[in-house]
Chains A and B, each alone.
Chain A
């Protein structure tokens, strides 16, 4: 017992270091595997309000350009109105897809914090559980897909950007509907990689990629990007495609959280059938 005390006194510095280091690694790992820690969401609301304040200042400076972008996009959407896939209401926009009987609701949100240069980038939006945002909802912007909601506090949510090492979004070629898996290799905020595109795909440079609608997060047809170059991997019989992303993550200001209104029904069906979530 005395020896133990002597040992602790002698190596107190190293033991203290070990304790703190293991504590931080524990936080890190816990955060990676369990996304909902109360300490983290409490801290989210503190930093969230700081980011909100900063965003209000910087947004003011950027207002003119953002207004221009938004009004241009609004005009484009309105001109498509006779295809009647957009309905405008005061709360959000409802998108009825009459073929697949799926229904999505869009909740407008502002980006209050965003990074693009890290390996794993996150975006913070000023919408949270009080506005009905739930984890795993998709986030899009006027130009294309943005990411997937990871954590939600009362008024804020943290979105895993497409610019993240865990990104696996199903995207398809608009030309023939063949689909692959969108990933990000960490090199530049403008480019991502589409892997596992099957060999029968009639891919060409400049082809448009859209979200495939597989998985619950994104409706079908949201722009993903444009084929920049591609190569055939003969070993795996798949194409690996470099994609120029449709979304300009550096200038992201406004985004929409996509609520899948049939989500609960789908989840229940999955539980009944014992199938894992497709995401």
Chain B
């Protein structure tokens, strides 16, 4: 348990650093903004109490906001994910509930489950984030395009990072 907490804290710091120092300044093309840090909210253990998920999402959003200089934006998007996550998880639960000790990862839950779950989380997050950034529905379609393009790039990074994590776990 303590081991898991330390691992999660390290993962938190790593993802925030990658997001704030690297991904923020990588410009693969116009409109593309990968937000890999959402992975942290996706892969939190199933047993994490909902109130803790909320607090973690809030703090995660705040840390990313510090790097982006947009206090409140990532916070709002992440907090909403923290609120939604238990509901999505319970609606996607297998018939007998989640096995104790299994994690919301590709190797833990299988591809179809993981893709659906991360798709919902990332889409919701990006949707809130980009519309809050514009703060109006005036540019509805160009913002929507921005959401979709970034969704694809974030999704790709999340899947790639899953395979990276998978490898390291096999060694241990």
Interface on A for B, CB 8 Å cutoff?
Answer: 12-14, 16-17, 20-21, 23-32, 37, 39-40, 43-44, 46-47, 50, 54, 113-120, 122, 124, 158, 165, 185-189, 250
Interface string of B6-29 (1 = CB under 8 A from A): 000000000000001100110101
Decide if B76 touches A28 in the complex (CB within 8 Å). Answer: yes
Q: Does B106 contact A (CB under 8 A)?
A: no
**Contact indicator per residue, chain B 139-158, by CB within 8 Å of chain A (1) or not (0):** 10011001000000000000
Q: How many CB-defined contacts (below 8 Å) exist between A and B?
A: 105
> Is B166 in contact with chain A by the CB < 8 A criterion?
no
* Chain B interface mostly: helix
What is the distance, in angstroms, from A179's C-beta to the closest C-beta of chain B?
24
Quote the shortest CB–CB distance from A162 to chain B (angstroms): 15
Q: Out of A17, A28, A30, A37, which one reaches B132, CB within 8 Å?
A: A28
Contact status B69-A44, CB under 8 Å: yes
Between-chain CB contacts (< 8 Å), 30 pairs: A12-B51, A13-B51, A16-B51, A16-B54, A17-B54, A17-B79, A20-B82, A21-B83, A25-B76, A26-B72, A27-B71, A31-B71, A31-B72, A43-B66, A46-B66, A47-B69, A50-B21, A114-B25, A115-B24, A115-B25, A117-B30, A118-B133, A119-B134, A119-B146, A158-B69, A186-B31, A186-B146, A187-B31, A188-B30, A189-B27
The CA of A24 and the CA of B33, in the complex, are separated in Å by: 21
A85 → chain B closest CB, angstroms: 34
Q: Which residues of B contact A185 (CB under 8 A)?
A: 139, 142
The answer to whether A122 touches B50 (Cβ under 8 A) is no
Closest chain B CB from A224 CB (angstroms): 20
Q: Which B residues are closer than 8 A to A by beta carbons?
A: 20-21, 24-25, 27, 29-33, 50-51, 54-55, 58, 61, 66-73, 75-76, 79-80, 82-83, 86, 130, 132-135, 139, 142-143, 146
Q: Are B83 and A120 in contact (CB under 8 A)?
A: no
Bound-state CA distance A185–B80 (Å) is 28
Main secondary structure of the interface of A (DSSP, over half): helix
B15 CB to closest chain A CB (Å) equals 15
* Chain A, residue nearest B75 (CB): A24
Closest 4 interchain pairs by CB? Answer: A28-B72, A27-B72, A24-B75, A24-B76
Taking a contact as CB atoms closer than 8 A, the residue among A114, A158, A165 that contacts B134 in the complex is A165
Q: Are B67 and A47 in contact (CB under 8 A)?
A: yes
A contact residues around B30 at 8 Å (CB) = 117, 187-189
In angstroms, Cα B60 to Cα A161, docked, is 26
B135 touches A32 (CB 8 A): yes
Contacts of B143 in A (CB 8 A): 119
Cβ A13 vs Cβ B50 within 8 A = yes
Chain A residues within 8 Å of B29, by CB: 117
Which residue on chain B has the smallest CB distance to residue A124?
B69
| A24:B54 contact, CB within 8 angstroms | no
With contact pairs A119-B146, A186-B142 given, residues A24 and B58 touching in the complex (Cβ less than 8 Å): yes
Q: Which of B32, B70, B72, B134 has the most CB of A within 10 A?
A: B72
Least CB distance, B157 to chain A, in whole angstroms: 15
* Contact A186 to B139, CB < 8 A, known contacts A17-B54, A24-B58, A118-B133: yes
Contacts A25-B72, A50-B21, A187-B31 aside, 9 further interface pairs with beta carbons under 8 A come to A13-B83, A16-B51, A43-B71, A47-B20, A117-B30, A122-B69, A158-B69, A186-B139, A187-B142
Alpha-carbon gap, A186 to B32, bound state (A): 12
Residues of B within 8 A of A14 (CB): 83
C-alpha gap A130/B146 in the complex (Å):
38
How many angstroms between the C-alpha atoms of A120 and B70 in the bound complex? 10
Complex: how many Å from CA A40 to CA B71? 8
